A and B are shown apart, each in its own frame.
Chain A
Amino acid sequence: MFTKILIANRGEIALRILRACRSLGVGAVVAYSEADRESLAAQLADEAICIGPADAKHSYLSAPAVISAAIVTGCDAIHPGYGFLSEDEGFADVVRAHDLAFIGPSAEVLERFASKEATRRILSAHGLTTIPGSTMLRDEDHALEEAERIGYPVLIKPSAGGGGKGMRLVRNARELESIFKVSRSEAKAGFGDDSLYLEKFLEENRHIEIQVAVDRFGNAIHLFERDCSVQRRHQKIIEETPSPALTDAARQDLAERALKAVSAAGYENLGTLEFLVDSKGDAYFIEINCRIQVEHPITELCTGIDLVALQIRIAAGEPLGITQADVVSNGHAIEFRILAEDPAKDFRPQSGQVGAYLAPGGPGVRMDSHLYPGYEIPSYYDSLLGKLCVWAPDRAQAIARGDAALRELLVDGVITNIELHRAILANQVFIDGKVTTSLLDRVGSAPFVAAGNR
């Protein structure tokens, strides 16, 4: 096991990793930017080190700053969390070159799965169905040709993108012509890589992902699925497990196929395979996330397995220590992403000082958040304030606990999406388990909030 881990991230995930380190008895150093000097992770840590200015480019995204901090504080491993440097194979490689361990897949594995297009090819060769898509687009003519072959509507996707960023929906050739160049330059600006590809757009789909864990010795387990169909502009806002859209047999089958394909492809460490599931129940593989996911706690609540601790143990070269038979998913869990966004003003991100803060409690309630009263939310980073997760023996009780917990949750001083969550919970489409990824965007959030207030 490692002796000391540098936590190269911020917000709630820095805190989550710190907690995992403590429960494993491993030392931890929180690396923070100047804007996060007062962050809870930096305050709770036994050691904390300022690695740069507020601008993430020169702090959380700066490989030299992060690695130098790990070296001068005597760490032997770096946990990148999610986002920032977490899936950068170049960073993983440099970390290893400095005799430090990267907590995540090796650079080789990250590189193999870095391109979504290549990943789809690899995993379809290992038995997963993929959405009809194109190869990398050479130019506009090539794009038009491929779109014709796949059939409109199609999505233009940046190969290096993630979390739905930079994606564009195109319904016909004219739209494709007008948007192609813009997409290319956006991809270049956003990800430093202008490679684009097309994918068939499934109108009414659900987003379902399978959590897997593979150790260095080839032992592999899946930890069932998470349903992330409640989204706004391709950003997940509510996740739950099990998926209300899959029968027990279907979830078992999907999880087993995903695990088989990913371990045959030589994957290592924690990973999440994302699928779109259409109205007929067919699952199409879209991408693999080679990191801990924001929504990992709901899997932890149902399986009782600490995923961050497991991730650290795998990276340290330890065997899984459990088999598939040990992984049992119990009850139902739901996660609400609490965001500093104003639903009434096009979800504009909010910053400012948190006044009173009260986290909810009670049976089956878990709050992963870096908030505290008086905390100043910096404007430099994302708007995630925390994740409220609830567990109950079944879905109906989980929804009831979720609503009770959301009512208790108090975040003064900034506008949040707490009321939107309550409105979604009260909506019949959600109660029936029939939400598709485009629902919120199609109807807008206002009707949800209005209906919730009645």
Chain B
Amino acid sequence: MNKRVVLVMVILCSFLLGGVAFSQEAKLKAGFIYVGPIGDLGWSHAHEQARQVLEETYPWLDTIYVEAVPEGEVEGIIDRLVNQEKVDVVVTTSFGFMDGTVNAAKRYPDKIFFHCSGFKRAPNLATYMADFHQVYYLNGIMAGALTKSGKIGYVGTFPTPELKRHINAFTLGVRRVNPQAEVNVRWLQSAWYDPQGAKEAAEALVAEGVDVLAFTEDSASVVQVAEEKGLPSFGHYSPMLSYAPNHLVSGQLVHWEAIYLDFFAKVYAGLYTNQNLDNLDYWWLLNDGAVELGADFGVPINPVYEETLKSYMVDDPVYGNISVYDLVFKLEAAMADPEYAFSPFTGPIKDRQGNIRVPSSVRLSLEDLITMEWAVEGVAGPWPGEPE
């Protein structure tokens, strides 16, 4: 072979290698830690969908994930991700990972941490949450219009402030159009994923005469009960229309990718570093595109229920005589407004003992929302940890 050809090839190769080395340096690597299996229809599944969007959208980002991590073992997993997988950013997606993440953030000050649903932050640890309370409110409005017995069933997993906030928002929606209706709550208190328990709880509620079902749990059990019994229901977390094509009215859907895309772009651009995350808390709602009202993505209301909701007229204090169908979209627009024109938790709101919890025309603060323990008027059934 000609010497010059060899020389050119060597030079070309070194360029190529140099190029590879360069692009590797500019790449970001993120490790995601999930509390559940990615197969379930709930929380971890939704985070995994978002991770895949990230991976596809940003060519400069590599991601890996670890699923079904028990909450106590998160620190060891973070050690592995940092030391062996050499990740730059660690994303922990369960409230129970909070203390483990905080400890790891101290141990690896040059790495960036992103913890979901927690409240502890550090210079290299930010927090984020896509909250459903606005969407629950809208679903409550539809539930209030669809109940004939005035009794709506709600299956909850654990009585945490998050669930209480959501059930309260749902109930406030119900009572806006149906002031006599009540929301009967039953708690599973077993696991976030408990399909058998959710099914039996829903069956028990139906036996007691509820005729609309909503829930917080990571399977589609409750929706399947609704389909079998022919009752309107509201899905949670993932699109559940296929489980009850004729009996799923709407539901809460999440877009974690909205938050992830924003966060990682800013990390990559150097806007977010391991020095300045102290006060970074994403609390993203409808106006940020982090949550969506829908039976399926792009299907805010199941067409099967359109007629009923359009013909159900109410006298609304703000919008006057209006169909529930229109009311839902008016309020959705008001909440999706960048100015955050309307909050479900705007006073006057009484708790179910009759105490004024939110004075007239006052809006609850974020702090109030994330520590909520009381139950609004209209909630029926047990409420563990209810303040006196």
Asked if chains A and B come from one complex, the reply is: no
Residues of A within 8 A of B (CB): none
Chain B residues within CB distance 8 Å of chain A? none
